[in-house]
Amino acid sequence: MPDRPNIVFILTDDMGYGDVPCLNENSKIPTPHIDHLAQEGRIFTDGG
């Protein structure tokens, strides 16, 4: 059986689109673990 992908959905409340550095390099909020996940995986920015 082929390997199945790991899918992680991260949902947050009270955050703006550019609050995390993986979406905004000028962000002032350090999120090293989220940034690492973003670098190693995929970022989907449009749910439409």
Q: What is the pLDDT of residues 3-43, one digit of tens each?
A: 888 888 888 888 888 899 999 999 999 999 999 999 998 88
Domain assignment present for residue 17? The answer is yes
**Domains of the chain: total:** 1
Centre a 10 Å sphere on the Cβ of residue 20 and count the other Cβ atoms it contains: 19
Residue 7 Cα to chain centre, angstroms = 12
pLDDT score of 48 more than 80: no
User: 32: domain range?
Assistant: 1-42
Residue type, 31: T
Q: What is the pTM of this model?
A: 0.68
Residue 48, in any domain of the structure: no
- Band the pLDDT of 1: cuts 50, 70, 90: low
- Name, in order, each residue with C-beta under 8 angstroms of 35's C-beta and a sequence gap of 6 or more: 20, 21, 22
pLDDT at 2 over 90: no
Predicted pLDDT at 25: 92
pLDDT of residue 31: 92
- The 3-state secondary structure of the chain reads CCCCCCCCCCCCCCCCCCCCCCCCCCCCCCCHHHHHHHHHCCCCCCCC
